[in-house]
């Protein structure tokens, strides 16, 4: 079952480039927040069946820290940033200018830091997408959850399953010169967003 | 003599599994807003599990899959009966958490966990099926296991001990 707007090869390449550029832009937002250089060292992107997502991320029962944001107003967009707890603690230490290993639990300060990180990365990401497509998107406040991967994501996956069977999955490695972190972006544009993006020149 | 452990049968998003292998375990990992229906025929020792993602297919042809409660529940019972199960099933439910905060009226329609619970209960009631036990709602993810040999159902949440349902 799929009701998703199908990409031609050219559109697929254009879309991938658009999303990669937006990810780079969102990491540059993180650099501004941290006050020290954070760079993407690797991005792997693929379009996968929605039901395969939990397994792609290590299994539905694996504990993950998720920062979840959504654009509720049309054309609609979901975005999730996922990290292992250890990776999340590394990011928190970078952002708070602490020695590596300082953070080891998600208290109020740590949750707030991750929420702000989600705000900034998502804003930069969507601004980049907006610059390229002319579609302006505003997100909800971020929700930070530490729970099983399946539980963190199934709410979003359920939303996308209403219209489609596929989702764009971007797995990234980024960090400072001293600390590298593996993180995953789950980028879920609505069908309506894709259609508008095509109409506004994504297919060019 | 040692016996190799039987790998559990993972019931993924929108999947159904039925087993009559006593050593088998059916498991739905990391349920958030999804609802797991665990059904067991204690006479014939046949177990079935559905991992339901959304409440209603809306009757659309392209949506005739077990992701939707209105498709999954009759499909689960049909598959169990085809495997030899009687109609006297012990049914237990888990899941339907609210993983995102509901802060605005427009988000009510997005509370998929509650909608899944409501749909599953209505469908079971409409089919004359009684629910023996449930662990529904809340804000935490769950992993549900159904042991085929005994019919025991357990629920585990992150950072907490596993409990019998």
Give which of A36, A145, A77 is closest to B141, Cα–Cα.
A145
Domain count, chain B: 1
Residue B165: inside a domain: no
pLDDT exceeds 70 at position A48:
yes
The B residues from 43 to 62 touching A (CB cutoff 8 Å) are 53-54, 62
Q: Pick from B31, B64, B112: which is nearest to A150 by CB?
A: B31
Q: How confident is the model at residue B105 (pLDDT cuts 50, 70, 90)?
A: very low
Pairwise CA distance, residues B47 & B90, whole Å: 9
Q: Which residue has the higher pLDDT, B142 or A168?
A: B142
Give which of A93, A83, A111 is closest to A173, Cα–Cα.
A83
**Mutation target vs A (from B8, B29, B97, B105; most A CBs, 10 A cutoff):** B29
DSSP helix, strand, coil percent of chain A (3-state; round to 5):
45, 25, 25
Pairwise CA distance, residues B72 & B53, whole Å: 10
- In sequence order, the β-bridge partners of residue A63 are A148
Q: How confident is the model at residue A13 (pLDDT cuts 50, 70, 90)?
A: confident
Residue B13: inside a domain: yes
Q: Which residue has the higher pLDDT, A168 or B81?
A: B81
Per the structure, the complete domain to which residue B21 belongs is given by: 9-138
- pLDDT of B3 reads 55
Pairwise CA distance, residues B32 & B90, whole Å: 23
Structural domains of chain A ordered from first start = 9-202 (3.40.1550.10)
Residues A173-177: what's their mean pLDDT?
Answer: 78
Contact B163, B115 (CB under 8 A): no
Chains A & B: contacts with CB separation below 8 Å: 101
Percent of chain B with pLDDT over 70: 89
pLDDT exceeds 60 at position A34:
yes
Contact B36, B93 (CB under 8 A): yes
Contact B68, B56 (CB under 8 A): yes
The DSSP call for residue B32 is S
Residue B133: inside a domain: yes
Tell me the pLDDT of chain A averaged across its residues: 82
For β-strands B16-19 and B46-52, DSSP reports them as antiparallel
Range with the lowest mean pLDDT among A25-39, A167-181, B26-40, B64-78?
Answer: A167-181
Q: Pick from B29, B65, B106: which is nearest to A61 by CB?
A: B29
pLDDT exceeds 70 at position B110:
no
Taking the Cβ of residue B113 and every Cβ of chain A, the question of whether any pair is shorter than 8 Å is answered with: yes
Residue with tokens 């292992």: A84
**Tens digit of each residue's pLDDT (9 = 90 or more) over A142-167:** 889 999 999 998 888 887 787 777 77
Residue B17: inside a domain: yes
pLDDT exceeds 80 at position B100:
no
Tell me the pLDDT of chain B averaged across its residues: 90
The CA-atom distances, in angstroms, between B74 and each of A49, B68, B70, B131 are 25, 11, 7, 15
Pairwise CA distance, residues A186 & A167, whole Å: 8
Contact B94, B144 (CB under 8 A): yes
Q: Pick from A51, A54, A143: which is nearest to B100 by CB?
A: A143
pLDDT exceeds 60 at position B106:
no
- pLDDT of B129 reads 95
- pLDDT of A1 reads 45
Q: Pick from A68, A70, A161: which is nearest to B53 by CB?
A: A161
Q: CB-based burial of residue A13 (10 Å sphere; 0-12 exposed, 13-18 middle, 19+ buried)?
A: exposed
Q: How confident is the model at residue B45 (pLDDT cuts 50, 70, 90)?
A: very high
Pairwise CA distance, residues B10 & B19, whole Å: 12
Segment holding A88, helix H or strand E: helix A85-95
Residue B125: inside a domain: yes
Pairwise CA distance, residues A146 & A155, whole Å: 14
Residue B150: inside a domain: no
- pLDDT of B59 reads 74
pLDDT exceeds 60 at position B10:
yes
- pLDDT of A35 reads 81
For residue A52, the distance in angstroms to the closest alpha carbon of chain B comes to 8
Taking the Cβ of residue A68 and every Cβ of chain B, the question of whether any pair is shorter than 8 Å is answered with: yes
Residues A131-137: what's their mean pLDDT?
Answer: 82
pLDDT exceeds 70 at position A119:
yes
The CA-atom distances, in angstroms, between B30 and each of A137, A162, A176, A183, B114 are 30, 20, 32, 19, 17
The DSSP call for residue A51 is G
Q: Which residue has the higher pLDDT, A80 or B90?
A: B90
Active site residue B34: yes
Pairwise CA distance, residues A10 & A19, whole Å: 14
Range with the lowest mean pLDDT among A38-42, A91-95, B15-19, B30-34?
Answer: A38-42
Taking the Cβ of residue A72 and every Cβ of chain B, the question of whether any pair is shorter than 8 Å is answered with: yes
Residue with tokens 């900034």: A120
Residues B127-143: what's their mean pLDDT?
Answer: 95
Residue B160: inside a domain: no
Taking the Cβ of residue A147 and every Cβ of chain B, the question of whether any pair is shorter than 8 Å is answered with: yes
Q: Which residue has the higher pLDDT, B65 or A1?
A: B65
Q: How confident is the model at residue B102 (pLDDT cuts 50, 70, 90)?
A: low
Range with the lowest mean pLDDT among B50-64, B79-93, B103-117?
Answer: B103-117
Interchain proximity B100–A147, CB inside 8 Å: no
- pLDDT of B2 reads 53
Give which of B16, B35, B42 is closest to B150, Cα–Cα.
B42
Residue of A nearest to B30 (CA): A150
Q: Which residue has the higher pLDDT, B82 or A142?
A: B82
List the catalytic residue out of B34, B37, B49, B153.
B34
Interchain proximity A151–B13, CB inside 8 Å: no
Pairwise CA distance, residues A70 & A54, whole Å: 19
CATH of the domain at B114: 3.30.1330.200
Taking the Cβ of residue A122 and every Cβ of chain B, the question of whether any pair is shorter than 8 Å is answered with: no
- pLDDT of B108 reads 46
Interchain proximity A151–B62, CB inside 8 Å: no
- pLDDT of A174 reads 79
Contact A165, A50 (CB under 8 A): yes
Q: Which residue has the higher pLDDT, B141 or B111?
A: B141
């Amino acid at each position: 079952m799929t009701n998703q707007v199908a990409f031609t090869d050219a559109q697929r390449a254009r879309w991938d480039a658009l999303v990669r550029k937006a990810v780079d832009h969102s990491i540059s937002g993180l650099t501004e927040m941290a006050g020290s250089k954070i760079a993407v060292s690797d991005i792997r992107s693929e379009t996968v069946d929605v039901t395969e997502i939990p397994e792609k991320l290590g299994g539905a029962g694996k504990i993950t820290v998720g920062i979840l944001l959504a654009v509720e107003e049309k054309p609609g967009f979901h975005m999730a940033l996922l990290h292992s707890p250890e990776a999340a603690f590394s990011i928190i230490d970078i952002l708070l200018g602490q020695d590596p290993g300082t953070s080891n639990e998600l208290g109020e300060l740590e949750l707030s830091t991750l929420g702000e990180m989600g705000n900034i990365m998502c804003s930069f990401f969507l601004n980049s997408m907006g610059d390229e497509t002319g579609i302006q998107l505003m997100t909800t406040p971020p929700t930070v959850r530490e729970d099983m991967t399946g539980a963190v994501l199934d709410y979003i996956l359920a939303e996308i399953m209403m219209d489609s069977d596929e989702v764009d999955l971007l797995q990234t490695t980024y960090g400072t010169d001293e600390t590298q972190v593996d993180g995953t972006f789950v980028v879920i544009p609505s069908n309506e967003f894709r259609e508008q993006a095509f109409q506004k020149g994504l297919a060019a | 003599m040692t016996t190799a452990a039987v790998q559990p049968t993972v019931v993924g998003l929108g999947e159904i599994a039925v087993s009559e292998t006593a050593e088998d375990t059916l498991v739905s990992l990391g349920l958030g807003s999804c609802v797991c229906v665990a059904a067991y025929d204690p006479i014939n020792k046949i177990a079935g599990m559905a991992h339901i993602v959304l409440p209603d297919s809306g009757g659309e042809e392209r949506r005739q899959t077990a992701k939707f409660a209105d498709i999954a529940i009759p499909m689960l019972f049909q598959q169990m009966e085809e495997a030899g199960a009687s109609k006297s099933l012990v049914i237990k439910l888990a899941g339907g958490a609210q993983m995102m905060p509901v802060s605005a009226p427009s988000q009510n329609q997005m509370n998929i966990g509650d909608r899944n619970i409501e749909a599953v209960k209505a469908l079971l009631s409409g089919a004359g099926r009684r629910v023996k036990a449930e662990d529904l709602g809340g804000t935490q993810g769950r992993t549900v296991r159904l042991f085929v040999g005994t019919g025991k159902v357990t629920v585990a949440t992150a950072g907490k001990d596993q409990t019998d349902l």
